[in-house]
Amino acid sequence: MKITTFNANSIRARLPILLKWLQENNPDVLAVQETKVRDEEFPHSEIEDAGYNVVFCGEKSYNGVAFLTKNKPKTVSFGMGDDEGESNTRLGHISIGGVEIINTYVPQGRELESNYFQFKLNWLKRLREYFDKTFSSAKKKVVWVGDLNVAPTPQDVHDPKRIWPHVCFCQDVIDAFEDVRAFGFEDVFRKHLPENGTFTFWDYRVKNALQRGLGWRIDHILATPPLAVKSVSCSVDTEPRTWEKPSDHTFVTAKFDL
């Protein structure tokens, strides 16, 4: 099973080229974040015509998550069940092929001193509670993917000394992330891509960031042990950077031998 995560920064702006990428790469599941569109305007017909099933939950202008899948998911839900704090447009959950897949767009946090950063920390705390109440244990086959807006180690940013502290790279956010991870997730990305300088995001606003290696690893693929042991590879595809309407995020893919 091939699972890919992609922050689209508008599914409508990326759609023509995204569909081409799907045909060429053929993942079983594409988890998308920042669709930035209301459900009634979501371009589902184009995706279905391309041979993919699609489920989504969005809002006007911001947030929004979706799953594009080759087969129809067995179950689909959005949000953490608390119906508050933007959980519905930041968390999707499907069950497919015997695997549970959680797709999250974690709040960015804006500034360390802001209420938005506290919201981010609390959102991660709620996410841990969601895993606890949804799954009996990490013996279940669970994958957690998405734009997590956390660089959990110094290796995950290009200049740790200069960047520390940042809403995506500071002790509070790393602690919050680690608390969620401690549910029982293993870092499938790092297992297969241990080299320094392997990133998933390069800021639009930094001139030639990709060429200069000024990236971050904030898009993740993690899995519980019974699934992590079956992971065979992971890759980052920077092709969206070359698109007519480039994206600052990349396609991050993991393959599982199931």
Q: Is 108 in the site for DNA (CB under 7 A)?
A: yes
Q: What x/- string results for residues 57 through 86 when contact with DNA is judged by CB under 7 A?
A: ---xxx------------------------
105 as an active site residue: the answer is yes
Q: Is 12 in the site for DNA (CB under 7 A)?
A: yes
- Give 136 or 242: the residue with its C-beta nearer to DNA: 242
Candidates 203, 221, 223; CA nearest to 213 is 203
Among residue numbers 186 through 215, which ones bind DNA (CB under 7 A)?
Answer: 204-205
Give the tokens for residue 131: 């895993």
Stretch that binds DNA, among 5-13, 129-137, 220-228, 229-237 (CB under 7 A): 5-13
Give the tokens for residue 73: 């998911």
Least Å distance, CB 36 to DNA, is 4
Stretch that binds DNA, among 35-43, 124-132, 155-163, 170-178 (CB under 7 A): 35-43
Least Å distance, CB 158 to DNA, is 15
DSSP state, residue 201: B
Q: What is the DSSP string of 16-44?
A: HHHHHHHHHH--SEEEEE---S-GGG--H
Q: Is 192 exposed, middle or buried (0-12, 13-18, 19+ CB in 10 A)?
A: middle
147 as an active site residue: the answer is yes
The Cα 163–Cα 169 span in angstroms is: 7
Of the residues 28, 105, 156, 219, which is catalytic? Answer: 105
Stretch that binds DNA, among 9-17, 67-75, 91-99, 173-181 (CB under 7 A): 9-17
Per the listing, tokens 């933007």 go with: 86
The Cα 224–Cα 111 span in angstroms is: 31
**Contact residue for DNA among 5, 36, 47, 104 (CB under 7 A):** 36
φ and ψ of 155, to 5 deg: -70, -15
The Cα 195–Cα 155 span in angstroms is: 9
Least Å distance, CB 130 to DNA, is 20
Any idea which residues carry the catalytic annotation?
105, 147
**Binding stretches for DNA (CB under 7 A):** 9-10, 12-13, 36-38, 60-62, 107-108, 110, 116, 204-205, 245-246
